[in-house]
């Protein structure tokens, strides 16, 4: 998010894209090599310049090692001090270009990972819960600086095997700590909640959970909730899809009024035949 609050961006680099219909079809056929289903998801939230891209690439167009991940014409590189993201993508559905460079400077690196499902087959952990970002795009023409967050997810199976619904949020506190709620729910099972604070000194602290606050459903009628000491309001709806939503929320915790970056995933919606039929139009595949 930009320091002036006018711009936002989300970047996700996938190996074995969890939302890919092509990967799903390959798994069903017993021919699913995750290296053959890579993508760089770019979502830009700027008034008048919002764009979204997620073009999937096969293994002949991708490569990775300890310092670099190449996805077709785009790449993610660690240079020892910062993460450099070179973007050369085409957005859908209007086929507008997204080109330029993003640099992310971690304020503190973490070596932390924790299971997030009931069986321990999926793991999550922030690499840099608090960071600075510099955006220099030529298409659209955007240049800004702000705060950033960098994390990692990995799994031994498709997310559809382990999850039903999750609500995730991240907020920056007054002392520059990052507060994360990872709130997962299953039918007829006990909820699982991670309530963690990542300090500027590199500590990971389990903190008391806040009460559940239910929000109004999205335009696509996805139910969502947030942990907060007081009722929650939507500051800005960033993304609203049939199975996934992303928003900025106003909430409170431990006496602080905070702004959260919040996401909800509905796996039953993702698995819907209608949604699966729609995905290729939003997520094209290139060699």
55-75 pLDDT per residue, tens: 999 999 999 999 999 999 999
Q: In this structure, what DSSP letter does residue 2 have?
A: B
Q: In this structure, what DSSP letter does residue 34 have?
A: G
- Taking only the tens place, the pLDDT of each residue in 203-227 is 999 999 999 999 999 999 999 999 9
Q: Which of 125, 226, 135 is nearest to 178 (CA)?
A: 125
Taking the CB of residue 211, how many other CB atoms lie within 10 A of it?
9
Burial of 232 (0-12, 13-18, 19+ CB in 10 A): buried
Domain positions in the chain are: 7-286
What confidence score (pLDDT) does residue 31 get? Answer: 79
Is the Cβ–Cβ distance between 234 and 248 less than 8 Å? yes
What confidence score (pLDDT) does residue 152 get? Answer: 97
Q: In this structure, what DSSP letter does residue 6 have?
A: S
């Amino acid at each position: 998010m930009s320091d002036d609050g006018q711009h936002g961006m989300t970047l996700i680099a996938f190996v074995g894209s969890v939302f890919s219909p092509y990967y799903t079809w390959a798994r069903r056929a017993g021919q699913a090599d995750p290296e053959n289903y890579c993508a760089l998801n770019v979502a830009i939230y700027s008034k008048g310049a919002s764009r979204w891209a997620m073009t999937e690439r096969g293994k002949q167009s991708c490569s990775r090692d300890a310092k670099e991940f190449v996805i077709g014409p785009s790449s993610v590189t660690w240079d020892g001090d910062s993460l450099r993201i070179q973007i050369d993508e085409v957005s859908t559905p209007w086929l507008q270009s997204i080109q330029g460079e993003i640099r992310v400077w971690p304020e503190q690196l973490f070596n932390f990972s924790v299971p997030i499902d009931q069986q321990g087959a999926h793991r999550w952990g922030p690499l840099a819960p608090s960071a600075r970002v510099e955006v220099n795009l030529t298409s659209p023409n955007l240049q800004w600086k702000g705060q950033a967050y960098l994390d990692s997810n990995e799994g031994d199976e498709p997310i559809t095997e382990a999850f039903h619904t999750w609500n995730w949020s991240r907020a920056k506190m007054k002392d520059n700590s990052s507060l994360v709620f990872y709130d997962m729910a299953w039918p007829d099972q006990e909820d699982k909640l991670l309530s963690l604070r990542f300090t500027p000194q590199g500590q990971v602290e389990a903190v008391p959970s806040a009460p559940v606050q239910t929000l109004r459903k999205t335009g696509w009628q996805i139910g969502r909730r947030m942990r907060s000491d007081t009722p929650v309001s939507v500051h800005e709806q960033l993304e609203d899809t049939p199975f996934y939503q992303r928003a900025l929320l106003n909430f409170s915790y431990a006496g602080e009024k905070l702004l959260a970056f919040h996401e909800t995933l509905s796996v039953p919606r993702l698995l819907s035949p209608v949604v699966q039929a729609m995905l290729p139009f939003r997520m094209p595949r290139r060699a």
